[in-house]
Structure 1
Amino acid sequence: MNDVLAGFRDSLEHPSPPDGLSPLLTALWWAGKGEWARAHDRVAALSGPDAAWLHAHLHRWEGDLNNASYWYRNAGREMPDNDLDFDAEWLSIAQALLRVSQ
């Protein structure tokens, strides 16, 4: 795990997201805290394939697989099997977003 990803993950120990995060990383941060509604409220206002991927992840986590499938298609991604660990997918999204934001 690179230092940027480790730092982002460690920031979940704090009560609020670090300053300077993009809106999409802020939504992901709230998802990492287990705050589904806060994460969803933020990502719902965003567009683009990365936002759709996070949106899909949130709906899969919620158990709304039909809605998740829609968002995975918008992201240009296949919906993972239900046995894919949500934490593993969260890390994949974080890695992708943090590479973009570096």
Structure 2
Amino acid sequence: MDLQAFRDSIAEPQPPAGLSPALQALWWDAKGDWAKAHECAQQRDDTAGMHVHAYLHRKEGDQSNAEYWYRRSNATPPASTLDEEWEELARRLLQQS
């Protein structure tokens, strides 16, 4: 799946089958369901999940919690906008899947 297909799928009621928990989190975030996105991001304690978890706390405005999760995922907090970070994460995770 490429980024455009992923974006198009957001119009559907459920995420496409086979998405990783981190991609499911980004999908639910794009649907406006932060709580469901957060739940998905916490499903696995892997680098991708931790990075998406950091993004979600940054979006929430909880900077100290976001910084904790960026450190855990070995990522630097971005200077980009939230939309740019979402796109970068989605693109990278889609390429890895």
Aligned partner of 2:82 among 70, 86, 89: 86
- Give the CA deviation at 1:20: 2.1
After superposition, what is the alpha-carbon deviation per residue over 1:21-78, rounded to whole angstroms, capped at 9, x for unaligned? Answer: 2222111110121210000011112111111110000000000000000000011111
Q: Report the 3-state secondary structure (helix = DSSP H, G, I; strand = E; otherwise coil) of the residue aligned with 1:96.
A: helix
Paired letter, 2:89: I
Question: How is 1:3-82 mapped onto 2 (pairs within 5 angstroms)?
Answer: 4-81=2-79
Identity over the aligned pairs, expressed in percent? 46
Runs of 4+ in 1 over 2 A off after TM superposition: none
One-letter identity of the residue aligned with 2:95: R
Once the two structures are TM-superposed, the CA of residue 6 in structure 1 deviates from its matched residue by 0.6
2:75, 2:18 → 1: CA distance?
28
Greater relative contact order, per chain length (Cα 8 Å cut-off, separation 6+): 2
Displacement of 1:4 after TM fit? 1.1
What does residue 92 of structure 2 align with?
A: 96
With structure 2 as the length reference, what TM-score do the two structures score? 0.92
Greater Cα offset, 52-61 or 18-27:
18-27
Moved more, 61-70 or 39-48: 39-48
Give the TM-score of the pair, scaled to structure 1. 0.88
